[in-house]
Amino acid sequence: MTRLHAGDLIVEMMLEYGVECVFGMPGGQTTALHDAIARRPDQIRHILMRDERNAAYAADGYARVTGKVGVCDATVGPGANLLPAGFLEALNASVPMVGIIGDVPLDWLSLKTKGIASQGFDQVAFFKTCCKDAFQVPTLASLPELLRTAFRIATAPRPGPVALVIPHDIFDADWDPEVLKATTDNRCVHIPYLRSVAPQTEVQKAADLIRKARRPALVCGGGVHGSDAAGVVTAFADRLGGLVVTSLTGKGSVPETRDYAAGVLNPLGSLAAIELIGEADLVIWCGSKVSQNTGLNWTMPTPEQATITIDCDPLEHGRTFRPTVPLLGDVRETILALGAALDEDRSDANPEWMERIREVKDSCDQIKAEEMASDRIPVQPPRVMAEIAARLGEDDIMVSDASFAAGWIAGYIPAKKPGRQFLYARGQGGLGYSVPGAIGAATVMPKGARIVTVAGDGAFSYTIGELATQAVYNQRIVNVVINNGKLGWINFWQKFYFGQTISVDLETQGAVPGYAAAAAALGLKGIYVDKPDEIGAALDEAFAHDGPSVVEVRIDDMATPIHSFKRRLQEPDTKERVRPGLVYKLRDWKVSPDL
């Protein structure tokens, strides 16, 4: 008879929670987990990552695509201490995740200090700083309860990562399923764990405010996708008679092909969105925490704008401004209630506002069309995005890295249907998300669908080793590297505000990294292009390839999606420098008026 241990208990419970993949790196203290997975090859897989940090990013990508809990594992010490980058991304972006983390034996507690017990340190205190919560499992008997707690906290409003630290002796302990039941809570398989709705009195106040508005605007954040509410929000937007914009993580909340949709509200997003949002008399913040970037450095909302906030987290209703009407509840349920309270189609209620939206969009779209058709050399990134957009299938998913890549995707690749098909690392905004995030997403993609990543050469350099993971699992991922030879955002920042640059050049004469060539050496298809008329053929080849590929495009190192940077480039050079601290000055907390 096969010996069962705590690893089997964990895996049996994870199967009940719908977990299909665990992303991580084996270690001696976690071998029981991997042994249990190995005995269930038709039910669950372990995806071997090259780095535990990337395991957390892969679990994040899996969770965003499925709405289920992403699970990663790491061994004690050097494995565990690489997880926080991914945990912080998931925490700030409200992504459900559980980390299964090994530890030294429980009775070695006094030997953890300074690594006297090899690799040991206080992991629970460490993870409490970057997770919703962290627990150490003190006994085998407590393991089922603590694993249930981890999944409940990870999926409960608002979602986030939970660390479960399991000492080596407990991991290896014998498990008798007749004595210790592997009982789970099936409400925690998919987010949100529970749905609530704002009180009807407040919903009615919000509906009355919308009726009075002449220039309403809806700002959709990542909470729309977290609530699986894109379809419901689109139906509401169709009847609103107003502007709709999104945050980066909210992209896809409504199709950007709609007349009222003006794209991503962000300094590196849509110029039309930035221009129009300031003209609204009512702003409905839907599943958006009104962060620095979506709030345009907290200049939004303006003191004159009435506001409605829709969020399941009570702490979001008043963080940077006091809303006119706060609606505390699940996005999907609250939008349904608000739509019912309006009980009318208002799509034609504000014709002057809709005409203004069309006017601004048409003007901005004309500029974008010229950028996307550019034949200039070096290649302009909008041309690359246009070529990608022309080849995306209905079920394909875009994974963006941080920095300029996020802006190029946001502004030039439209969301054509409701749903989360654009994954952005905006919880932390850290470089290096796209390659491992794509690995997580690819494990659950429908047959025939592709993942397409876009990263600058700086971001791509962070996780180039995970290309080997894509190759091992033969994932259909097209990695597009837009290579400008620099840390682009920092290069501009140093030039504009300090007048000189240092440590921003990623290559020098005689030392030019070849990302396509490196990909080929790791077993992928690698293609390099440096002319606009080569991009289409290169992407066709990569999209047709049955496996992962890297398309490296040499781009203009002076190209930027940040609108303020574009304006600065058009101004004459000046010796006067703006102090960067003044750029990010927090505005006074505001109280939104009534209409």
Rounded-to-integer distance, Cα 592 and Cα 324, Å: 5
Q: Is residue 188 part of a domain?
A: no
Q: Kindly state whether residue 582 falls inside one of the protein's structural domains.
A: no
Residue 2's pLDDT band, with cuts at 50, 70 and 90, is: confident
Shared domain check, 49 and 118 = yes
C-alpha dist (Å) from residue 420 to 120, 141, 256, 573: 39, 39, 13, 42
> 578 versus 253: which is more confidently predicted?
253
Same domain for 330 and 387: no
The backbone torsions φ and ψ at residue 100, rounded to the nearest 5 degrees and listed phi first, read -100, 115
Same domain, 305 and 229: yes
How far apart are the C-alpha atoms of 117 and 119, rounded to whole Å?
6
pLDDT band at 367 (very low <50, low <70, confident <90, very high): very high
Reported as a pLDDT band with limits 50, 70 and 90, residue 584 is low
239 and 332 assigned to the same domain: yes
Span 470-528, pLDDT tens digits: 999 999 999 999 999 999 999 999 999 899 999 999 998 777 789 999 999 999 999 99
pLDDT value of residue 478: 98
Residues 217 and 312 in one domain: yes
Other C-beta atoms closer than 10 Å to the C-beta of 77 total 22
| pLDDT tens readout for residues 320-333 | 999 999 999 999 99
Nearest to 436 by CA among 129, 4, 24: 24
Q: Does a structural domain hold residue 576?
A: no
Kindly state whether residues 257 and 152 are assigned to the same domain: no
**How many Å apart are CA 164 and CA 166, to the nearest integer?**
6
Domain at 312, CATH number: 3.40.50.1220
**Residue 582 scores a pLDDT above 50:** no
Which of 359, 387, 415 is the last residue before a domain boundary? 359
Residue 389's pLDDT is 98
Q: How many domains does the chain have?
A: 3
Residue 473 lies in a domain: yes
With contact defined as beta carbons under 8 Å apart, do 223 and 286 qualify? yes
Residue 595 included in any domain: no
Q: Indicate the average pLDDT of the chain.
A: 94
Inside any domain, residue 181: no
User: What is the per-residue pLDDT for 373?
Assistant: 97
pTM (two decimals):
0.96
Q: Mean pLDDT over residues 276-280, rounded? A: 98
- Residue 204 and residue 102 share a domain: no
**CATH classification at residue 521:** 3.40.50.970
399 and 478, same domain (yes or no): yes
Does residue 423 share a domain with residue 493? yes
Query: Range with the lowest mean pLDDT among 56-60, 108-112, 220-224, 251-255?
Result: 108-112
Supply the pLDDT for residue 509: 75
Domain-ending residue, one of 325, 359, 393: 359
- Residue numbers of the domain that contains 58: 6-172
pLDDT in tens, 384-408: 999 999 999 999 999 999 999 999 9
Let me know if residue 462 belongs to a domain.
yes
What pLDDT is stored for residue 399 in this prediction?
98
Helices assigned H by DSSP within 197-320: 200-212, 222-226, 230-240, 271-277
**79 and 140 inside one domain:** yes
Which DSSP letter does residue 250 get?
Answer: T
315 pLDDT band, cuts 50/70/90, is very high
Q: What is the mean pLDDT of residues 200-205?
A: 98
Domain boundary among 359, 382, 411: 359
Non-local (6+) Cβ contacts of 454 within 8 A are 385, 388, 398, 399, 400, 401, 405, 408, 409, 434, 480, 482
The phi, psi pair for 42, rounded to 5°, reads -90, -5
Are 351 and 416 in the same domain?
no
What are φ and ψ of residue 84, in 5° steps? -55, -35
